[in-house]
Amino acid sequence: MQTKRIGILTSGGDCPGLNAVIRAVVKASELREWTVYGIPYGTDGFINIAKDECSPDDLILTDKCYQLPGRIRGLDVLQFFSGSVLGSISKGHPENPEVKANILEGYRMLGLDALIVVGGDGSLDIIYDLAKAGNWNIVAIPKTIDNDVPDTEFSVGFTTAVEIVTQALYDLTFTAASHERIMIVQAMGRDAGHLALRGGIAGGADIILIPELTPCLSLDVIDDCCHHLLKLRESGRHFALVVIAEGVKTQDQRKESYIGDYLLQQIKEYSQILCHEGHQDFCTLKDVDMRVTVLGHLQRSHPPVAWDRLLATAFGIKAVELIENNHYDRLVVWQKGQVESESLSSIITTIKERRQKKQCTSPVNPHDCLVKTARSLGIYLGDPEKSKNPSNLDNL
Ligand code: F6P
């Protein structure tokens, strides 16, 4: 058996399941008698090596690293925890030539045969460029609660985040019903609506706003939302659950950190104006209590659900197998019930093209079966055409 020295790093926003990937890689490597170096804080770990701030030996990971000591020694806990035991960074492309040189030097000093990169679209893009410059052999594993890495149906962390959105909606339902309130839940998803869509359907939302179907909160969209909320009340449901993905923009196409609050404001102002103009039903809506919950990083920090542990483990094992076969420049993916791998170079080309055009790297397909499911349930999802109306409330 050929022994290898491999590295693993996690980069970009953390998510549930990163530790399960690390555990799987360490276990599969130990079986092959390989040495695994855990690079701390993404590519920053290479800088520390280059500057002699840490010794390569300190980075060696073994199965024992993650077992509890004492009477419960042998208990292997790593896959249960969220976060990354290696730490992670979100720093963008290293512009400074000295920083870049140190990263490349640190990698060279470790003498790695290959590197496993666990990252989302942004990190993969950055590390791919470094790998090209340093001639690294890399295998990548997709992770992100946004689920927007092209060519894989699932990224590590996504399913746990969906669970959090779903649970949050369930938890809010009872207080919403008791006070007959409209609850707006802001979900993560910088440019993609996968998380809001799935969590929204599973959690019983009445309105789900995602950037793919509602690029911005135009007047038409606000009008539709108001009518939908009024219809719900008429049908006897005196509360409502609205999910909005953070990637949805304002009326004037701006990104807004608190887009849920903006939506509340728009609904309030719009119904006030229409009430003032004599539309009686809008007078009811203007007085309905509304509250916003921003789920934020709670979506990233929950222990990984079973599916994320399975996916992370299967992805970690696949990455080791690819390295065993000297099969590099690959992205491990989940497609049609199987763990496969795709050319990383071609996926990076897609990522770069879409990022340059400021497009989502892997958006919700408007013909996705879950979009159809949501519409068939009567959930309001918007329509890109409705986001085109540029007028604003001041023009009413
Ligand atoms: O890309 C994953 C993600 O969780 C997005 O949904 C979110 O916009 C972003 O990271 C937040 O990142 P941070 O707060 O860590 O910079």
pLDDT tens for 162-186 read: 999 999 999 999 999 999 999 999 9
Task: Clarify whether residues 266 and 179 are in a common domain.
Answer: yes
pLDDT at 77: 87
Distance 192 CA to ligand 1 centre (A): 11
In this model, does residue 104 exceed pLDDT 90?
yes
Name the domain count of the chain.
2
Question: How far lies 193's CA from each of 145, 149, 202, 212, in Å?
Answer: 11, 13, 14, 7
Where is pLDDT greater, at 33 or 70? 33
- Model confidence at 26, in pLDDT bands (50, 70, 90)? very high
What are 326-359's pLDDT values in tens digits?
Answer: 999 999 999 999 999 999 999 999 999 999 999 9
From atom 12 of ligand 1, which residue's Cα is the shortest distance away? 13
Shared domain check, 266 and 180: yes
Tell me the pLDDT band of 91, cut-offs 50, 70 and 90: confident
Two tokens, residue 138: 């890399």
Judge whether 231 and 216 are in contact, CB under 8 Å.
Answer: no
Instruction: Name the token pair of 236.
Output: 């006897």
Question: Rounded CA gap, 106 and 46, in Å?
Answer: 4
Among 146, 243, 299, which residue has the most ligand 1 atoms within 8 Å of its CB, making it the best to mutate? 146
Q: Are 35 and 103 in contact (CB under 8 A)?
A: no
| Distance from the alpha carbon of residue 146 to the mean position of ligand 1, in angstroms | 8
Are residues 383 and 285 both part of a single domain? yes
SS3 state of residue 342: strand
The beta-strand segments (E) located in 112-212 are 114-119, 138-142, 182-187, 207-209
Q: How far is the CA of 284 from the centre of ligand 1 (A)?
A: 37
Name the token pair of 199: 């969590």
pLDDT for res 390: 57
Are the C-beta atoms of 89 and 42 separated by less than 8 Å?
A: yes
Ligand 1 centroid to Cα of residue 337, in Å, is 27
- Would you place residue 389 in the very low, low, confident or very high pLDDT band (cuts 50, 70, 90)? low
pLDDT of residue 152 exceeding 70: yes
Residues 129, 70, single domain; the answer is: yes
Measured between alpha carbons, how far is 204 from 219 in angstroms, rounded to an integer? 25
Active site annotation includes 148 = no
The yes-or-no verdict on residue 74 having pLDDT over 90 is no
Q: Which residue has the tokens 């590590």?
A: 156
Pocket of ligand 1 (CB under 6 A): 13, 90, 120, 144-146, 188-190, 246, 300
- Among candidate residues 146, 151, 224, 329, the one labeled active-site is 146
Return the ligand 1 atom nearest residue 90 CA: 16
Per residue, the 3-state secondary structure of 206-245, as one string, reads: CEEECCCCCCECCHHHHHHHHHHHHHHHHCCCCCEEEEEE
Q: What is the mean pLDDT of residues 6-12?
A: 98
Kindly report the CATH number assigned to the domain that includes residue 132.
3.40.50.450
- Nearest residue by C-alpha to atom 10 in ligand 1: 13
Spatial contact of 220 and 389, defined as CB atoms under 8 Å apart? yes
Q: Looking at residues 127-133, what average pLDDT do you find?
A: 97
pLDDT of 324 over the 90 cut:
yes
- Residue 353 host element (H or E): helix 344-356
At 231, which CATH number? 3.40.50.460
Query: pLDDT band at 394, cuts 50/70/90?
Result: low
A 10 A CB-CB count for 217 gives 28
Q: Phi then psi for 294, rounded to 5 degrees? A: -100, 115
Q: Is 126 exposed, middle or buried (0-12, 13-18, 19+ CB in 10 A)?
A: buried
The C-alpha atoms of residue 27 and residue 84 are separated, in whole angstroms, by 17
Amino acid (one-letter) located at 137: N
Top mutation candidate among 14, 89, 90 for ligand 1, by most atoms within 8 Å of CB? 90
Q: Kindly state the helix (H) or strand (E) to which residue 292 belongs, with its residue range.
A: strand 290-294
- How far, in Å, is the centroid of ligand 1 from the Cα of 13? 6
Q: How far is the CA of 287 from the centre of ligand 1 (A)?
A: 34
- Quick one: 275 and 390 in the same domain? yes
Residues of the domain holding 251: 161-300+365-395
Question: Closest ligand 1 atom, CA of 188?
Answer: 6
Same domain, yes or no, for 167 and 152? no
Residue 338 and residue 229 share a domain: no
Query: Which residue, judged by its Cα, is nearest atom 15 of ligand 1?
Result: 13
Check whether 105 has a pLDDT greater than 80.
Answer: yes
**Dihedral sign computed on CA atoms, order 173, 176, 177, 181:** negative
Q: How confident is the model at residue 56 (pLDDT cuts 50, 70, 90)?
A: very high
Which pLDDT value is given to residue 72?
Answer: 83
Interatomic CA distance for residues 348 and 346, integer angstroms: 5
Helix-helix angle 369-376:194-203, to 10 degrees: 40
Q: Is the same domain home to 167 and 153?
A: no
185 and 221 fall within a common domain: yes
pLDDT score, position 102:
97
Predicted local distance difference test score (pLDDT) of residue 107: 98
pTM: 0.96
User: Ligand 1 atom closest to Cα of 120?
Assistant: 1
Least confident of 44-48, 63-67, 299-303: 63-67
Q: Which atom of ligand 1 is nearest to the CA of 246?
A: 8
Q: What is the pLDDT of residue 391?
A: 61
Nearest CA to ligand 1 atom 16: 13
Considering only CA atoms, which of 279, 245, 278 is closest in space to residue 263? 245
**218 pLDDT above the threshold of 80:** yes
Atom of ligand 1 at shortest distance to CA of 195?
6
Share of residues in the chain with pLDDT > 90 (%)? 90
What mean pLDDT is predicted for residues 223-241? 97
What average pLDDT score do residues 226-235 get?
A: 97
Q: What are phi and psi of 368, to 5 degrees?
A: -55, 145
**Domain co-membership, 9 together with 141:** yes
pLDDT digits (tens, 9 = 90+) for 261-272: 999 999 999 999
Assess whether 194 and 295 both reside in one domain: yes
- How confident is residue 388, by pLDDT bands cut at 50, 70 and 90? confident
Same domain for 178 and 284, yes or no, is: yes
Q: 354 C-alpha to center of ligand 1: Å?
A: 18
